[in-house]
């Protein structure tokens, strides 16, 4: 999303209509669940003076959003041969430098999160995985392998309620 100066932002309240677990089958036979959670939503009204020329019939945007998310990942199934003795958690910046193996993935379930805004709009957010890495010889508190998941929330759209 575009970087917006903080003074121009208005915090928008929202209600969760649906937050989903997306499920991926990894090439190493593990099952990975990923959830993105909207934590804060900010909006900026776009003045007409900032609008750029658009093709005929296309309305200029009147607002833009900035959002903060938290991502939750969980391994729910893996082969016994991939499990190991739990290791101490490492900070993300340290984990990025550890030896790791890229693991291909196939989406099993991918869906939209839906949030209701005070003005009746709905905000839809979908997490997009770009890559998954298994950290070599690193295990969570239950002995499951630790994965680094790279993702974005690039597909965000607002839909107005139908006029009656």
Structural domain count of the chain? 1
Distances in whole angstroms, Cα of residue 158 to Cα of each of 25, 51, 123, 162: 30, 19, 5, 13
pLDDT for 96: 86
Q: In the predicted model, is pLDDT for residue 1 greater than 80?
A: no
Residue 164 falls inside a structural domain: no
pLDDT for 65: 82
pLDDT for 63: 75
Q: Which domain holds residue 33?
A: 6-159
Taking residues 89-117, report their average pLDDT: 92
Decide which of 62 and 98 is more confident.
98
pLDDT for 120: 86
Residue 146 falls inside a structural domain: yes
Taking residues 84-102, report their average pLDDT: 91
Minimum mean pLDDT among 79-83, 87-91, 105-109: which range?
A: 87-91
Residue 133 falls inside a structural domain: yes
Decide which of 150 and 153 is more confident.
150
Cβ-based neighbours of 50, under 8 Å, separated by 6 or more:
none
Kindly report, residue by residue over 24-66, the tens digit of the pLDDT: 999 999 999 999 999 999 888 776 666 566 677 666 666 788 8
Residue 1 falls inside a structural domain: no
User: What percent of the chain has a predicted confidence (pLDDT) above 90?
Assistant: 60
User: Each residue of 121-147: b (16+ CB within 10 Å) or e?
Assistant: ebbbbbbebeebbbbeebbbeeebbbb
Cα dihedral sign, 88-92-94-99:
positive
Residue 89 falls inside a structural domain: yes
Q: How confident is the model at residue 145 (pLDDT cuts 50, 70, 90)?
A: very high
Q: Average per-residue pLDDT in the chain?
A: 86
Kindly report, residue by residue over 118-144, the tens digit of the pLDDT: 988 888 999 999 999 999 999 999 999
Q: In the predicted model, is pLDDT for residue 78 greater than 70?
A: yes
């Amino acid at each position: 999303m575009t970087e917006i100066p903080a003074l121009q932002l208005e915090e928008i309240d929202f209600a969760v209509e649906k937050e989903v677990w997306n499920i991926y089958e990894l090439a190493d036979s593990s099952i990975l669940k990923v959830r993105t959670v909207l934590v804060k939503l900010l909006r900026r009204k776009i003045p007409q003076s900032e609008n750029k020329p658009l093709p005929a019939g296309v309305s200029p945007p009147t607002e833009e959003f900035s959002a903060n998310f938290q991502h939750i990942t969980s391994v729910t199934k893996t082969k016994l041969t991939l499990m190991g003795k739990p290791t101490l958690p490492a900070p993300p910046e340290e984990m990025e430098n550890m030896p790791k193996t890229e693991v291909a993935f196939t989406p099993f379930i991918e869906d939209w999160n839906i949030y209701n805004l005070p003005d009746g709009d709905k905000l839809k957010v979908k997490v997009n995985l770009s890559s998954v890495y298994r950290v070599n010889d690193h295990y969570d508190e239950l002995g499951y392998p630790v994965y680094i998941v790279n993702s974005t929330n690039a597909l965000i759209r607002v839909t107005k309620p139908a006029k009656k």
